[in-house]
Structure 1
Amino acid sequence: MSAALDIRSVTAGYGAEPVLHDLDLSIPDGQVVTLLGANGAGKTTLLRAVSGLMPTTGSVHLRGRDISRLDPEQRVRQGLAHVPEGRGVITELTVDENLRLGGLWRHDRTTLRQHIDAEYERFEPLARRRHALGHQLSGGERQMLALARALVATPDVLLLDEPSLGLAPQVVHTIMQTLRQECDRTGLTVLLAEQNAASALSVADRGVVLHLGRIRTDGPAAHIAQDDALRHAYLGY
């Protein structure tokens, strides 16, 4: 199985002391891989390193192409999408304008409209509020919008940081099921950083547990979910 995302010997941090230490991770096409671990484990840092938002040593390959020297915008053009923690919605724009922004690199306007309409079908609350401004949305609606905007771009690899944070369980369920269905339907690859371990593992193929910037465990999601010692030590449930 080919690797959609291949992370090799990545070291990254915010100062003199690295957060990630010589980390290797390879993710095949069409998988959901969830990054788990406590605050400070390095989950967000890894996503930011992959998307080019911080100084990094090592290399990142997207579908076999080395994107390590590309800036974040160029990585988006190559098929990488990143939904950061905090939802990332542009609050001064309407729902529809945010979705159109997701397809900024598309040249076929008809295809873009079809993808936007597909997201409205998927997320009915957004369809009802398509003319509302971002700041008028609830937290759950903003998270749906951030995810929908990323999917409009039809990325090869989606990086998603803490999508369940502060949301009602039903909204979390909708978002997690959307990820699983999209991977199964289109072959999308997802790297999901999440503290809600039980929810993330329920839709993931693999779980990767980070501890102090290093991989503590990497294995099938179902096995990690059933490992009582691992859950109590690192996952908090």
Structure 2
Amino acid sequence: MTDVLVVDKLNAGYGAVPVLRDVDLTVPAGTITAVLGANGAGKTTLLRTITGLVRPTGGRILFSGADLRAVKVEQLVRRGIAHVPEGRGVVAELTVDENLRLGGLWRKDKADAKKATAEVYELFEPLARRRAHLGHQLSGGERQMLALGRALVARPTLLLLDEPSLGLAPKVTAQIMALLKQLRDTTGLTVLLVEQNVRGALSIADRGVVMSLGRIVMSADADQLLADDGLRHAYLGF
């Protein structure tokens, strides 16, 4: 199985404060990899460094074999990487439909961008019913659907998701997780998922990695991580 993403001895931080320390990570094509750990473990910084929002101080980031360190942030989506940050990040003053069109604004194949938007409405029925509503009129769950849908309109190869369940009701969280699994199974989408909802993330993931103090302390199949009582108690809090 080909690795879509390879992170090799990655170091990064904020100013003089180091956060990531020699992080090694591989994400195979067509899989979901869950990144787990307590607050402050470095999970969000990992995603931000992969997408160039934080500049690495050492190591490599390879996407489909190409080094991302010299690639401008705005070029990543054209290469097939979509990042949905924590906090959902929809444009509150735009309608649902306008937000989704932003996801395909850069695409030359306008017909397929329109088709991708229609597919998002099929995936997320609440958005279809509220396509003329403004972003600030949506519920938290609907905003998360919209942020995810906008990323999908870009037809990414790799989707980076940061805490998609944050602040959502359990039922909505379950729907989001089920959708990610469906997308992996039906489209071959590769997902790197940062989550504190450990059980939910591992229930759909192929593999999980556990971060602590900026390092990866464990990498294993999702079922193995769920079954490892000592690891769960030490790093995952349950």
TM-score by length of 2: 0.98
CA distance in 1, matches of 2:233, 2:81: 33
CA distance in 2, matches of 1:73, 1:186: 24
Are 2:208 and 1:201 equivalent residues in the alignment?
A: no
Cα deviation, residue 24, structure 1? 1.1
Report the alpha carbon displacement of residue 105 of structure 1 after superposing the two structures with TM.
2.2
- In structure 2, the partner of 1:67 is 68
Please report how far the alpha carbon of residue 89 of structure 1 lies from its aligned counterpart in structure 2 after TM superposition.
0.5
Alignment-mate amino acid for residue 233 of structure 1: A
Residue identity (%): 61
Counterpart position of 2:226: 225
Partners of 2:127 and 2:166 in 1: CA distance: 19
Q: In the TM superposition, what is the alpha-carbon distance from 1:22 to its structure 2 partner?
A: 1.3
What are the residue-to-residue correspondences of 1:1-237 with 2, within 5 Å? Answer: 1-56=1-56, 57-237=58-238
Please give the alpha-carbon distance, in whole angstroms, between the structure 2 residues aligned to 1:131 and 1:114. 18
Secondary structure of residue in 1 paired with 2:159: strand
Runs of 4+ in 1 over 4 A off after TM superposition: none
Count of aligned pairs between the two proteins: 237
Q: Please state whether the residue corresponding to 2:199 is helix, strand or coil.
A: helix
* Alpha-carbon distance, 1:51 to partner: 0.5
* 1:230 CA displacement: 1.1
Q: Quick one: which amino acid aligns to residue 51 of structure 1?
A: T
Letter in 2 for 1:23: V
Corresponding letter in the other structure for 1:174:
Q
- Residue 84 of structure 1, CA deviation: 0.2
Mapped partners of 2:223, 2:199: distance in 1: 10
The CA distance in 2 between the partners of 1:29 and 1:11, in whole Å, is 24
Secondary structure of 1:120's match? helix
Deviation by residue 1:70-114 (Cα, 9 ceiling, x = unmatched): 111111111111000000101111100110111122112221111
TM-aligned CA deviation for residue 15 of structure 1:
2.3
- Supply the AA of the counterpart residue of 1:24: D
Q: Which amino acid aligns with 1:75?
A: L
TM-score (norm 1): 0.98
Q: CA deviation at 1:121?
A: 0.7
Return the letter of the residue paired with 1:19. Answer: V
Unaligned runs of 5+ in 1: none
**AA matched with 1:137:** L
